[in-house]
Amino acid sequence: MNSERTTHCGDAEAFLGRLRACVQLSSDDEHALTDVIRDVRRLSAGTHLIRKGDRPHDVHILLEGWAARYDVVPNGGRSITAFLLPGDLLDQHVTVLGEMDHSIVTLTDASVAFLPNGRLESVAVRRPVVASALWWSTLVDQAVLRAWLVNIGRRDAFEAIGHLLCELHARLAKVGFTINTDFELPLTQEEIADALGLTPTHVNRTLKRLREEGYITLRHNMLVILDIASLKAAAGFDASYLHSKPVDLMRLMA
Amino acid sequence: MQTYYFHLRDGTDVLLDPVGRLLPSLSAVAGAALFEARAIISADAKGGEISLGQSIDVEDESGALVHSIAFVDAVRIKSSR
């Protein structure tokens, strides 16, 4: 694995930014979280964080770049079961498991924090607001997975790709990686296909249709959503499953 | 492993594959092209209209055509009559 170890406090911004969507963290909470991010590694695209069958030792936080969870079926076909974006926590309690049931690979060059077993827990145990924020993060990941099931189960290719683009835009906007409705989409058509149970040529044709019908365009390697309201309507996208509303802390602590 | 480009042809129109994909052999290329054709036919069936005049042309990194499959050859349509 190509990596260089460094420590950057500023790198934690995407992670903190994501948690701030749900809860007001105190500056002490933020310092405690930043403090556990000590081992940050630059990984090149195509680096596995962990493979199916491996015993997990670390919790990872993706600070920059994209990654994917995937599995491979016996005929060789790959299924991508999640796109991981800056700010994503993978996975808080994973070390409870004896072995990984899927693999995680970087899709772009990435910056990943490696937290040894227990380090994040030690913060959560002392800080209930942090603990709630981390739970929220895990619950949202599950909500995204359910939305992906709906993509595959009940949306056609046009709706599913539209929905995925709206979701990626919404998630990236929360961590500051969008410029209005423009964002860098580093995914190949193969990766989009593997995420939605489609084939790359079908994705190619559907993206062409999305462009021709005025929903999206490509500008200097950035995907631009030209009419986000219409795309959301066409895709049946409702962002509420991303739970980006502040949690009622008084209700939590009662 | 080499990169192969799967272009979708519909009469004179062609939709080019911008990036290609890595495959280990021409046999894998043929399998992937067949799978692609059937996937598009399936999706179009759900939409109510299948255009069997399409084909998938596969080119290698040098631009040479290494495989082609016409949609009419990708499925057998059985009629009960």
> For residue A16, what is the DSSP state?
H
Helix H, strand E, coil C: the string for A17-52 is HHHHCCCCCCHHHHHHHHHHCCEEEEECCCCEEECC
Three-class DSSP category at A213: coil
Q: What is the per-residue pLDDT across A72-100, written as a single tens digit (0 to 9) for each? A: 999 889 999 999 999 999 988 888 889 99
Is B21 in CB contact (< 8 Å) with chain A?
yes
A201/B36 CB distance under 8 A: yes
Q: What is the per-residue pLDDT across B16-54, written as a single tens digit (0 to 9) for each? A: 999 999 999 999 999 999 999 999 999 999 999 999 999
Among the partner residues A156, A198, A204, nearest to B15 by beta-carbon distance: A204
- The CATH class given to the A3-128 domain equals mainly beta
A201/B47 CB distance under 8 A: no
Domain locations in chain A?
A: 3-128, 147-242
Look up the CATH number of domain A147-242: 1.10.10.10
Q: Is this complex's ipTM strictly greater than 0.90? A: yes
pLDDT at residue number A91: 82
Among the partner residues A156, A188, A201, nearest to B40 by beta-carbon distance: A201
For residue A164, how many other CB atoms are within 10 A of its CB? 21
B39/A199 CB distance under 8 A: yes
Is B5 in CB contact (< 8 Å) with chain A?
no
